[in-house]
Amino acid sequence: MNSLRSWIVTDGAAGLVRQCNGLATRLGLEPSHRTVVIRHPWRALPPAFWPSPLSALSPRGDRLAPPWPHLVIASGRKSVAPTAAIRRRTGGRTVTIQIQNPTINPASFDLVIAPRHDGVTGANVIATTGSLHGLTRRALDEAACRHEGEVAHLPRPLTFAAIGGPNRVYRFTQADARDLGRQLGALEGGLMVTVSRRTPPQAADALMKELDPARSVIWQGGDSNPYEGWLGLADSIIVTSDSVNMATEACISGKPVFIAGLPGGSAKFSRFHEALKHGGHARKFEGTLDPAWKPVVLDDATWVAQRVRDRLGDRLSLPGSPSECSGRP
C-alpha cells in the first residue's frame, strides 16, 4: 500500500462509503474515514448556501481539521461543501475528488466522478457508466467458496435475484412483487434471492409465496450476507431496476445480467439502463434468460483509477498501474 495520507469523507451511508472505498482500493491507498454530520439549519439547505462549510459541521461527527491530507475522496451531498472548503483552505495543496453529482460547479474540486446519466460536464469531470464499488472477480470467487454450501442442494442452473424496492421514482407493491415472483418461479433450476432494506416486508412476503421452497434460498437480512457469494455462484443474475449500485456490481461478475423493471422510473434511470444495454453489459428481463449470452464486463472503478493516475499522478505520487485492467466503459 502507498504511504499517501488520504481521507474518505461521507455521511457514513454504506453506498457512499462503498464507492469511495472502491476507488481508494484500486489506487492502492489505505484512507482514513471521516463521517460528517451537518448541524441545523445548514443540513436543510443546499451546499451552495452554506456560508462557512467547516463551521457547519456538528461535533457529533468527525472533525475536519489540520493536519490536512494529501487527498480527499468524498461522496454524498453532505460532503460537498466541506470538501470544497478543504481545497480552498489548503490553497489546492489537498487534492479533492468528489464522487457523484456535486450539484455545484465541478471546478470546485480537482476531479468529479459522476455517472454519465447525471449529465455533469466539465474539463475535470470523469463520466462513468454506473457507480463505483470495490468488487472484483477475485473477490466474488472467494466469497462464492464461503457460501457454496448454502446452495449445494439447489438444482442447476443457479439464478441469483437481487431485489430492491421503492424509491423516489419507482414503486414496488405487493402486486408487483407477486408478478415478479411468478416470473422468477417459472425459471428453470435453483433460485438465490436477496431482499434489501428498501424492500417492503409485505412485498417480500408476496414474492416468496410464488417460489418453490425446495429449489430456492432466500436471504432477508441478518448476519453473513451472501450477496457477494451468490453473485459469484450464479449462472445468471437478475436485479431490479431501482438500483444503479446493484446493477453495476452485477455487471462485474461476467455473468449474464438482466434488469427486472419496476413500475415508474425516470429519464436518468432510462439513460443508465440504455447505456448498460448499448454497452453489452445487461439486458432487460422479460421472463426468460439466455445463459449462453456472454456480456461485456463493466469495471468503472479500475478504468477511473487509471484516469486519476493519468491526471493526478504527478501531484500525488500514486502507485503504478493496477494488476487488473479493463477498457473504457
190-236 pLDDT, tens digit per residue, is: 999 999 999 999 999 999 999 999 999 999 888 889 999 999 999 99
Residue 17, all three cell numbers: 462509503
* 137, 221, 238 from 226: Cα distances, Å: 15, 10, 15
The three-class DSSP label of residue 112 is strand
Spatial distance between the Cα atoms of 208 and 199, rounded to a whole number of angstroms: 12
Read off the pLDDT of residues 234-253 as tens digits, 9 standing for 90 and up.
999 999 999 999 999 999 99
Read off the pLDDT of residues 38-78 as tens digits, 9 standing for 90 and up.
998 888 888 777 888 998 999 999 999 999 999 999 999 99
Q: In the predicted model, is pLDDT for residue 154 greater than 70? A: yes
Spatial distance between the Cα atoms of 233 and 36, rounded to a whole number of angstroms: 37
Spatial distance between the Cα atoms of 225 and 223, rounded to a whole number of angstroms: 6
Domains of the chain: 6-134+300-316 (3.40.50), 137-284 (3.40.50.2000)
Q: Across all residues in the chain, what is the average pLDDT?
A: 93
Read off the pLDDT of residues 270-312 as tens digits, 9 standing for 90 and up.
999 999 999 999 999 999 999 889 999 999 999 999 999 999 9
Q: What is the pLDDT of residue 52?
A: 86
- Yes or no: say if 161 and 256 are a contact pair by the CB < 8 Å rule: no
Task: For residue 320, name the pLDDT band (cuts at 50, 70, 90).
Answer: low
Q: In the predicted model, is pLDDT for residue 109 greater than 70? A: yes
Spatial distance between the Cα atoms of 131 and 117, rounded to a whole number of angstroms: 11
